[in-house]
Chains A and B, each alone.
Chain A
Amino acid sequence: MNFRIISALVLRYIFLYTRTPMRLVELVFWPVVDLMVWGNLTMFLQENTSAQFAHYLLFLIGGMILWDVLFRAQQGVAISFLEDVWTRNLLNVFVAPVRTVEYVTATFVIGFLRICVTVLVLSVLAFVGYHFNVFSLKWSLIPFFVNLMIFGWSLGMISTALILRWGQAAESLAWAIPFFIQPLVAVFYPVAKLPIWLQGIALALPATHIFEGMRDVLNPVIGHASWKHLGMAAGLNVVFMALAAWIFASTLRATRRKGLLTKFATQ
């Protein structure tokens, strides 16, 4: 793996974002809208519930912020790929001495940078507007973030593979895929509230364990994340990352074999 090439690819995305302020607005605008919706709902519910449960309700804001970690990481991978498609630059990159792993790693870095921007803005606004301190998640904050980011990367690779396979007609998947799994990973409610038959599927996804863990930390009775949830999230992430890498690599091979890459890249 060549870090010079990764940094060059990252530099390209940074140029792209700084040259196009609307993209920065996108990084902040929708998350802030979400925060306002969930923040105001939380305040309304807090005013109409017991004092003990009122604090626990902050998990709605925590869930929203952590969901954005996953979503931005996924978008970092999928949208970075689409940027190359939209600008008809894909062939230039694929005929340069860039290894697939370097290309994908650069999109991971962009995912990480997108998270940094969004979470920073949301954390400040959530604290100022709704008295939610993201650091109330204590030391669990780091494994929560890391696990959600890795799962987002995996989803990003799967989204990209599907777009590679089905062409630009499938590009809406770049936005849709995270929302396919959102009801399953129990962002805003405990997994126990899902139908029994769905709970097994939900618990097979790493993000579910993170959102369960977050609620445990904010729950005044429990107050900490269980090692079981963190361990399950980390283990499942290894499986999902390996699966996503395999899907991406085999789709790319198939795309080359079928001659779809050039058709797709020059459409």
Chain B
Amino acid sequence: MSPTADPEVILEARDLSREFDGVVALDRFSFKLKRGEVLGLLGANGAGKTTSMNMLLGLTTPSSGSIHAFGRDFFKNRVELLKRMNFSSAYTSLPGNLLVWQNLLVFAKIYGVPDHKKKITELLELFEISDLRQRVTGQLSAGESTRLNLCKALLNDPELLLLDEPTASLDPDIADKVRKTIRRVQSERQISILYTSHNMRDIEEVCDRVIFLHKGKVVTEGTASEIVAKSQQSSLEDVFIKIARSGDIVE
């Protein structure tokens, strides 16, 4: 299936479906992510967010459907396309025995970052963790570790960034700093971001558009305020609870 010809569409999924042992994890999920847009994927546990993210990274193959990134078939050009993308998750970490700068140096070399020393310094400053450069990665706090993961994710100046619950397990202060930094970098560099979170504040502050998933299907989509208005709920969190419990935004 050929992708949309619009060069502004950075990532396009069409009819993505995935079954695990007869259980439908994702059912004909389609979306487009435009250049410089931040798209939030929301849904309760088991809604299909992580499955979608894993397929978009090539970690899981879809049962059917297609993914195109930068207008090219993702599965046929995976390695080439991954050079223009990056990923950060609260559920992965960098090797704990290595120093912070060693971890960043290794990934800078993998991504072929020119002038990597300057880039690493720049990113550590951006996330206010320059003082951690010589620290052992395994000794970092959750907040420091998250910011280090984000430094790694921005090393190659990605055009497309996939963020899986980047503020999970962060205190409100650090989460706020992380959100603001992500938003600032995103708007300066016009990065397209696919963002999953259980934190409604994250979604409201960072995402331009939101897709709600429930049991692998799209329930609703739009801006956070549109969805709140459409569902006649008082907040996005209420919409989330509503969908998680009834599978729809209206009774």
Residues in A lying within 8 Å of B, measured CB to CB: 4-5, 7-9, 11-12, 15-16, 19-20, 83-84, 87-92, 94-99, 256-259, 261-262, 265-266
Contacts and interface: CB of A to CB of B under 8 A. Distances in A.
Contacts of B91: 88, 266
Q: Per DSSP, are chain B's interface residues mostly helix, strand or loop, or mixed?
A: mixed
B86 to A, nearest CB: 8
A92 B92 contact: yes
Chain A contact surface mostly = helix
B87 interface: yes
A63 to B, nearest CB: 34
A24 to B, nearest CB: 13
Contact of B107 (A4, A92, A256, A261): A92
Interface in B130-144: 136
Given A8-B109, A95-B57, A87 B93 contact: yes
Interface string B29-40: 000000000000
B110 interface: yes
A83 B95 contact: yes
A115 B107 CA distance: 26
B92 A89 contact: yes
Contacts of B98: 12, 15-16, 19
Contacts of A20: 97
A131 to B, nearest CB: 39
5 contacts: A8-B109, A15-B102, A88-B93, A256-B59, A259-B20
Nearest to A257: B61
A97 B95 contact: no
Interface in B51-110: 51, 54, 57-61, 79-80, 82-83, 85-87, 89, 91-99, 102, 105-107, 109-110
| Residue among A87, A95, A259 having the largest count of chain B Cβ atoms under 10 Å | A95
A262 B54 contact: yes
Given A15-B99, A92-B107, A257-B60, 13 more contacts: A5-B110, A11-B106, A12-B98, A16-B95, A87-B93, A87-B94, A87-B96, A87-B97, A92-B87, A92-B152, A96-B107, A97-B80, A259-B60
A89 B98 CA distance: 12
Nearest to A90: B92
A110 to B, nearest CB: 14
A15 B50 CA distance: 32
Interface residues of B, number: 38
B83 A97 contact: yes
Nearest to B19: A259
A4 B110 CA distance: 7
A84 B98 CA distance: 12
Nearest to B136: A19
B215 interface: no
Contacts of A94: 57-59
Nearest to A17: B97
Given A95-B58, A262-B59, A89 B82 contact: no
Contact of A97 (B54, B82, B89, B106): B82
Nearest to B60: A259
B127 interface: no
B225 to A, nearest CB: 32
B132 to A, nearest CB: 16
B82 to A, nearest CB: 4
Contacts of A83: 95
B60 A99 contact: no
A7 B109 contact: yes
Given A83-B95, A87-B94, A95 B82 contact: yes
A89 B93 contact: yes
Contact of A12 (B54, B85, B89, B106): B106
Given A256-B60, A259-B20, A262-B50, A98 B97 contact: no
Residue of B60, B95, B136 contacting most chain A CB atoms (<10 Å): B95
Contacts of B109: 4-5, 7-8, 11
Contacts of B46: none
Contact of A98 (B59, B79, B86): B79
A87 B136 CA distance: 13
